[in-house]
Structure 1
Amino acid sequence: MKKQNINFWILALVMTAVTAFQPLNAQKKTSFKVAWSIYAGWNPWDYASKSGILDTWAKKYGVEIKLVKMDYIASIEAYTSGEVDACVMTNMDALTIPVASGIESTAVILGDFSNGNDAILVRNNLTIPDLVGRKVSLVEFSVSHYLLSRALDMSKMKDTDVKVINVSDSDIAPAFVSNSEQEAVVTWNPLVMEIMQTPGVTKIFDSSQIPGEILDLMMVNSKTLKDNPDLAKALNGAWFEVMGIMSTRGPKADNAMEMMAKAGGSSLTEYKAQLKTTAMFYKASDAITYMAGDEIQGNMKKVRNFCFKYKLLGDRVKSAEDLGISFPGGIIIGNASNVMFHFDDSFMKLAAENKL
């Protein structure tokens, strides 16, 4: 699922950019930029924009929202530096880039979780235990790396049992397909679907085996959100209107999803196949229930622990517990005096109750 291992350089460059772009205090404003990137669970934003739905909701709240399509890592860099006000990203990347850079951030929409979009693929009928001592290609320190770590752990193995080969997200599929000597790769859709077409390649583990651990979120700068809640209201209104269209059957839904597929460079058939491995929260009420449940807290601990193990949370964090994460109901895991990541369901509740 969309990521690239440049965390070290991102933190170095972004911390400089943060000083230049981030205001010490957010302020009331009426014009916002929101970044998105290609992914099955995020392509609906393109439809929201092109259909006029996003603009309608923005006007309702007296704001202007410019949706900006960017490469995934570039979008998070722009968010972290303050060039955009909100951005779609995974829970892990939110921790390792903006939060690690000192940008307090809030998830205002829980869009989906990966339910098979991320996978470990092999040649020669290898199993997870067979990976001991072998090379595994992936984007280092990405959710692919996390997926491999979880798969090894569930097989009573250690990360050090395999040799990780770092490959860029743009090269990983063609490099594996063209080189039959490569035996194992970890990546995300649509690259998984592409590689699976290669004869002799099999899937031995995917994100459906760790449900809810790879979350896809709409993150908003917490300072910006505090002074401009109408931004989150407009985003939620637009998002769940689109979800309502997608969850119905018929020409309107197919036309909408065809636009989403085109935005991601896929056919409608391919896009629908990608959605089958994406656990979308089509109803705001379902997203609220999950965000307020116990499972998400345990999953965030796992992700946070992985990030700390690989020193991805920044120099200021001396232990995994040193970083606080808040959830609905006033629940906090980690240091309550250093809460940098918030899950806020209040705007989704307004959507669920038709109060937007």
Structure 2
Amino acid sequence: MISRWSPRLLAALAAGLAVALPGCSSDKDEPVRPGAVPPATADADTPVFSLAWSEYPSWSAFGVAEGEGLIDGAQGSMGEMEQKWDVDVVLKQADYDPCLGLYADGQVDAVCITNIDILPLAGGRPAVVAFPTSTSVGGDAVLAVGVDDVAGLKAVDTRGLEATVSQYVFRRCLEERGENPMDYPYKSMDPAEAARALQDGQIKSCCVWNPFLLSAEKNTPNAQRLMDSSEIPEEVIDLVAIGKDSLAKEGGDRFAACLAETFHAFNTKLNADDDLKVALGERVGMKLSLEEMNTVMEQSRFYATAEEAKALMTKAEFAEQTMPKVAEFTANHTGADAPSYGFEDDAAALNFTTQYLDLETAGPAE
């Protein structure tokens, strides 16, 4: 069994930070809006593929996209993009860690995951990064109460999930400030518990992500944001990864292109429709106002087009500086060398490639 990292678990929150944990499901939650392309019945020979996703701003797009008729998450029924690419996509919604488990165990073809978490999993099941969905630009942050500056964190325990995005952000922000992370104590705690503990005065510092971050900032008097992911631009990347074994199946390339075009077509609608932003905010767990959802989207910037996605995937800094830092973090926190990764390198256990974005742009073969 592959050893999985601690989850970047995103659960639905009520105003008081009560957590509701959704189970794994492929049932549609969004009613199809008037004017959406009606679903079609898949033929018996239509290839079937699956995507595991959890609630997070850019990943919840797949759930809300059902209401737009872009995709139909139930097997045997096809939305607009599935019809275009002649693939039947099954959406499996679960908490983040179970999603990783479904992918690692080969029970789904693709997963919504971060660049920090897919790397160790690729050692057990080689994967391709088909496209990024968003990057954290202040959506992960260190909040503190009664601590005046970063140096003051040496004297307190910062709480957050270990060996995952939160600790990565904590360590990298310290390094960017010329500090030694070993001088700063960090202890594991579930993000919802950490945000609540900060609010209740039980701890003095935590590192959490949205929507826990937004809620903690709103509800914790005198909370200060001491560091955040905007200090390490385009290092925390949310993305869709697909198993190489799944891509090798008939229609695997069309599946990847279908997911990419679904995401980008949804973004086109999202940017023109404030109601969709509010619907997305409801999916990520809080009754967010439009203003609050705009803040969340500023802090989790979407790669809204294929061109924006390709710009990241071909950026020298991402390949030559960011991913080596991620590999080092993986080795330090798993006790083993990180699996091989590469860019346009089919031999690498984790391959970042733009070929499916190119296919999306070109369209399906006639």
TM-score, normalised relative to structure 1:
0.82
**1:244 is matched with which residue?**
268
Greater shift after overlay, 276-285 or 84-93?
276-285
Deviation at 1:181, TM superposition (A): 4.7
Q: What CA distance in whole angstroms lies between the structure 2 residues aligned with 1:82 and 1:51?
A: 29
**1:88 is matched with which residue?**
112
CA shift in 2, pair 1:6/1:167, >3 Å = same
* 1:212-254 per-position Cα deviation (integer Å, ceiling 9, x unaligned): 1000101110111122211112112211111111233xxxx12
Contact 1:124 1:183 in 2 (8 A): yes
Of 105, 130, 151, the residue aligned with 2:127 is 105
* 1:87-128 per-position Cα deviation (integer Å, ceiling 9, x unaligned): 1010001123x224x110111111111111000111124312
Of 195, 198, 208, the residue aligned with 2:216 is 195
**2:331 is matched with which residue?**
308
Q: What CA distance in whole angstroms lies between the structure 2 residues aligned with 1:271 and 1:103?
A: 35
Q: What CA distance in whole angstroms lies between the structure 2 residues aligned with 1:134 and 1:169?
A: 17
Contact 1:107 1:344 in 2 (8 A): yes
Letter in 1 for 2:340: G
Deviation at 1:41, TM superposition (A): 1.6
Letter in 2 for 1:309: N
Contact 2:51 2:108 in 1 (8 A): yes
Deviation at 1:194, TM superposition (A): 1.0
**2:205 is matched with which residue?**
184
Runs of 5+ in structure 2 lacking a partner?
Answer: 9-44, 72-78
Deviation at 1:156, TM superposition (A): 2.4
* 1:258-307 per-position Cα deviation (integer Å, ceiling 9, x unaligned): 32222222324232220011121112111101111112111111111111
Letter in 1 for 2:342: S
Q: What CA distance in whole angstroms lies between the structure 1 residues aligned with 2:237 and 2:295?
A: 19
**2:42 is matched with which residue?**
none
CA shift in 2, pair 1:275/1:6, >3 Å = closer
Q: Secondary structure at the match of 1:132?
A: helix
**2:298 is matched with which residue?**
276
Letter in 2 for 1:184: S
Identity, in percent, stands at 22
Contact 1:61 1:230 in 2 (8 A): yes
Of 166, 169, 187, the residue aligned with 1:144 is 166
Of 61, 64, 67, the residue aligned with 1:50 is 67
Runs of 5+ in structure 1 lacking a partner?
Answer: 8-27, 331-335
Q: What CA distance in whole angstroms lies between the structure 2 residues aligned with 1:75 and 1:181?
A: 31
**1:69 is matched with which residue?**
93
**2:76 is matched with which residue?**
none
Q: What CA distance in whole angstroms lies between the structure 2 residues aligned with 1:242 and 1:115?
A: 21
Greater shift after overlay, 159-168 or 205-214?
159-168
Establish whether residue 326 from structure 1 lines up as the match of residue 342 from structure 2.
Answer: yes
**1:38 is matched with which residue?**
55
* 1:167-209 per-position Cα deviation (integer Å, ceiling 9, x unaligned): 123422112211x252211010111111112111010111111
Q: What CA distance in whole angstroms lies between the structure 2 residues aligned with 1:29 and 1:138?
A: 44
Letter in 2 for 1:232: A
Contact 2:53 2:92 in 1 (8 A): yes
User: Which structure has greater helix proportion?
Assistant: 1
User: Where do 1:341-352 residues align within 5 Å?
Assistant: 341-352=350-361
Contact 1:78 1:84 in 2 (8 A): yes
Q: What CA distance in whole angstroms lies between the structure 1 residues aligned with 2:112 and 2:349?
A: 17
For the aligned residue pairs, the C-alpha RMSD in angstroms reads 2.2
Letter in 2 for 1:84: V
**1:5 is matched with which residue?**
6
Q: Secondary structure at the match of 1:196?
A: helix
**2:308 is matched with which residue?**
286
Q: Secondary structure at the match of 1:308?
A: helix
CA shift in 2, pair 1:40/1:4, >3 Å = farther
Deviation at 1:155, TM superposition (A): 2.6
TM-score, normalised relative to structure 2:
0.80
Deviation at 1:29, TM superposition (A): 7.4
Of 149, 152, 157, the residue aligned with 1:127 is 149
Contact 1:49 1:67 in 2 (8 A): no
Letter in 2 for 1:114: S
Q: What CA distance in whole angstroms lies between the structure 2 residues aligned with 1:274 and 1:268?
A: 11
